[in-house]
Amino acid sequence: MAERKGRPFNLKSQPGFTQIAWACVVFLYAPILVLIAFSFNENRSVVRWTEFSFDWYVSAFQNDGIRNAAIVSLKVATSATLIATTFATMAALATTRTAPFRGQGLAFGIINQPLMVPEIVTAVVTLSFFALVKQVTGLTGIGYLILAHTVFCIPFAYMPIRARLEDMNLTLEQAAADLYATPFRVFRRVTLPLMAPGILAGAMLAFVVSLDDVIITLMISGPGETTLPIYIFGQIRRGITPEINAVSTVLLGVSVLLVSSFFLIGRKKA
């Protein structure tokens, strides 16, 4: 008699799964939908709807504080993304295009360390280190904030780049080497174009992480270095206004657009 095989465990078939899933979706996204809806409310109240209007978006665009914070955010996020993606690309090449070596696991752990340590711990440690550097050198400025963002953005850029390299077939690179192409020419003409989707996806993810960061930025930023999330955080203490709803909606839209692009690019195989 053939042995009866048990049915594989299916979480979706468990009692109450559908109801719990929908409840999670509602609790997660209903507040976001309310925020977006009231950003188009003509009334200053954030709890009573009156009429559809773009007035608060215009008001936010004309607000000097919001504009300055947005410029600082873009400056920090762009600089951190470029530097972090460059180092992440080099790290990915060093850990995937070489034979396994002693300490490779330690190298992975060091690269991904910012993901494993609580963000508040990273912020406190970074603040203490930069305070010591400033005391010794006397140097101040936005460079410390960019450096801090670069450090915690590297693993976010590294993961998709490394995944792309591991998914790539070595045939084309080996064929180019057999045709007497130098290692640099192989990298420039073959490896780099093939890994470009991974680099772009990693850069997008790093940009979103840097743009949305609050905790580390709050600890590291100095005078005149207020980013957009920090500005929003400060304004919320005085009360939520439709103008803040409008800024939050724009920031949310940018984040969703970049994260969606990251997943689409990351799935590209050719």
**DSSP symbols for 9-59:** P-GGGSTTHHHHHHHHHHHHHHHHHHHHHHTTBSSS-SS----B--HHHHH
Helix 192-212 and helix 242-266, axial crossing angle in degrees, nearest 10: 160
> Is residue 242 within 8 Å of residue 39, measured between CB atoms?
yes
Would you state the pLDDT for residue 171? 81
Query: C-alpha 206: how far from its chain's center?
Result: 4
To which residue do tokens 């504080």 refer?
65
Would you state the pLDDT for residue 270? 45
Q: How many Å apart are CA 114 and CA 131, to the nearest integer? A: 20
Q: How many Å apart are CA 29 and CA 46, to the nearest integer? A: 17
DSSP letter at 90? H
> Is residue 216 within 8 Å of residue 129, measured between CB atoms?
no
Q: Which two tokens stand for residue 181?
A: 């192409």
Q: What is the mean pLDDT of each run of 10 residues along the chain (270 residues)?
A: 57 76 87 86 79 87 89 93 94 81 77 83 88 83 90 90 84 82 84 87 90 89 86 82 86 83 64
Query: What is the CATH topology of the domain spanning 70-266?
Result: MetI-like fold (1.10.3720)
Would you state the pLDDT for residue 3? 47
Would you state the pLDDT for residue 107? 78
What's this model's pTM, rounded to 2 decimal places? 0.81
CA distances in angstroms from 94 to 86, 91, 111, 177, 188, listed in the order given: 12, 5, 12, 18, 16
Q: How many Å apart are CA 151 and CA 83, to the nearest integer? A: 9
How many other β-carbons are positioned within 10 Å of the β-carbon of residue 243?
Answer: 20
Would you state the pLDDT for residue 1? 44
Q: How many Å apart are CA 176 and CA 189, to the nearest integer? A: 9
Would you state the pLDDT for residue 232? 87
Q: How many Å apart are CA 253 and CA 230, to the nearest integer? A: 18
Q: Where are the domains of the chain?
A: 70-266
The amino acid occupying position 171 is: T
